[in-house]
Chains A and B, each alone.
Chain A
Amino acid sequence: MTGSRKLLIFGGIALAAFGMLYGLQYALFVEHQTLDHMGGSLAQSFSAAASRNLARSQASLEQYGKTKYDYVRQVDAHSHWIGLAMLMIVLGVIFERVNFSEGVRQMVAFSLLVGSALFPLAVILQTYHHGAVVLKAVAVVGSGLVIAALAATAWGFARPLK
């Protein structure tokens, strides 16, 4: 088994396991409370408006927005980690068909691994620092690495074997 394949398969398995464990702890300890909080905030906002308590209504609506911001990112990061890991494992099985030298293949595999780990991590960290530009930049770099690596892989598949 070549180094690039090892990197993709073992890296993919590790990332999938991490993503699943993260999702499990989130589902067990955080998700239900978050969903209750999100639905409760929205209901509270309408309910307070019905009682003509507009300040409370607005505060509840803002709370709803913040909670949903966090929830969407937590779920997205978890599913992206696992999805990208599955892609890495599948590519690992057939990576010798990517018609580049092993050195280039290792670079592509490394980019895919780093990007797949970094991009969802930066998305999750945004839930602790809403709107942080540095974290947005890290997410962009991570997703850019994944896209570039996959474009190189597609090119490698399309190149005729000599």
Chain B
Amino acid sequence: MPTIPRPMQDSASFAPVNSTRVFSLGFGPGVAPSFERMSARRLYIFGGIALIATGLLFGDIFAVFVLHQNAALQGEALIAASRAVAAGNAAAVNEVFAHLGNVLEDRGTKVDAHVHMIDTGYLALLLALVQPYVALSRQTKKSLAAWFISGGVLLPVGIFLIHYVGLTGSPFAAIGWASVLADSAGALLIVVLIVQAWGFWKFLRSRQLSEPELPAENSMPRRALLTGGTILVLLGFLHGAYYAGTLLYEHERMETVILQRMINAATTGNLDTATAEVNNFGNLAGARAVNIAAHSHIIEFGLLAMLLSFVQPFVFLSEKWKRRWVKLLLGGSVILPVFVLLELKLGLLAGGIADIGGLMVIVALLGMLVGILRYSGGLDASESDAAGGAR
């Protein structure tokens, strides 16, 4: 017979602070104390949602102001390369490709900053879920949470700065200060995860929960997020399978075919055909990009919905408002990937609608964040009351 996990009685998380006030807010015994002011779980949930919302906002800004302009610069570089080939100027070709590398770095670091910020947010939410199974002292868990969120902020900031800082003032031959910042932040995240794993190992040996598990609430928002999230992930898998089965190999084959045609046309001095092939190359790159973006975004939003279903008991809003945020989040989670896919047929109109979908998800996240703030605010106030009473 398995051992029944019991909370550790010596855990500071279980101190009966503000119990009367807490229970009057409608939460079960043992839940709220673990979510008191500045607890590790609160930091992870709050920081995680904030990181995801900021990462999404950055992605929306990037899509509107950088993505298409960057694609145009790539096209211009390829046209310049074709002209250099037609002119028989190998040195100019090399210059163009050095510039193209710069353009690709600009795009790549921004995409990476967006992805890393959101993924760190997911990890933070995941860590919030597993805190009861991490057998470490309350203070250690709080410090780890603070370091993790700091690393989660510094990592994408470092990645973003790589393109702008370059090798300025760096003592290294190929690594700039921004890379050092990003790598250090990444190392900090790894260290925190290793310590968490050690805490989990300690839990497995003691089988004592360090704080209460998340309550098994069966509300409509939670069910909708859980089922909706699973369906979104499933749709993403099905789309990925369709893309891999029908388009991936054809797209890969076409890339080299188009480049070959471009080079051949440039070599014979047929610049109009070479330019047309550059356009074909851009269209192919666009087709690949929207399929991959739709696939990854719908799965990420599904996972986000599932993770958010766990924290619903801590969103201190009326049921009506919780439902509104859930509907907005799920609606945006469908609109963004669907209209990203439709960009190929509808152009910028679909791109604009996709951005609105992203904005819907951001607004829903901010709404939930406010709910979490309100909950913590109640506890903070009750802590102050308790302190005042003691005086």
Taking Cβ atoms with an 8 Å cutoff, the residues of A that contact B are: 1, 39, 42-43, 45-47, 49-52, 54, 57-58, 61-62, 64-65, 68-69, 72, 83, 86-87, 89-91, 93-94, 97, 139-140, 143-144, 146-147, 150-151, 153-154, 157-158, 161
Contacts and interface: CB of A to CB of B under 8 A. Distances in A.
Contacts of A147: 234, 237-238, 241
B94 interface: yes
B71 to A, nearest CB: 17
B310 A157 contact: no
A38 B240 CA distance: 25
A93 B234 contact: no
B303 A86 contact: yes
A74 to B, nearest CB: 14
B126 A90 contact: yes
Given A90-B303, A93-B310, A154 B234 contact: yes
Nearest to B306: A90
B237 A49 contact: no
Given A147-B237, A154-B227, A154-B231, A52 B88 contact: yes
A50 B226 contact: no
Contact of A49 (B2, B218, B238, B266): B266
10 contacts: A46-B81, A50-B87, A57-B263, A61-B263, A69-B252, A89-B126, A93-B129, A143-B241, A147-B237, A154-B230
Interface string B309-326: 110000000000000000
Interface in B236-272: 237-238, 240-241, 244-245, 252, 255-256, 259-260, 263, 266-267
Interface residues of B, number: 46
Contacts of B14: none
B122 interface: yes
Contacts of A68: 252, 255
B84 A46 contact: yes
B197 to A, nearest CB: 8
B85 interface: yes
Given A51-B88, A61-B259, A157-B226, A150 B93 contact: no
B234 A150 contact: yes
Contacts of B252: 65, 68-69, 72
A43 B81 CA distance: 9
Contact of A54 (B96, B227, B267): B267
A111 to B, nearest CB: 13
B6 to A, nearest CB: 14
B85 A49 contact: yes
B22 interface: no
A38 to B, nearest CB: 11
Contact of A157 (B94, B227, B299): B227
B259 A42 contact: yes
Nearest to B249: A131
B334 interface: no
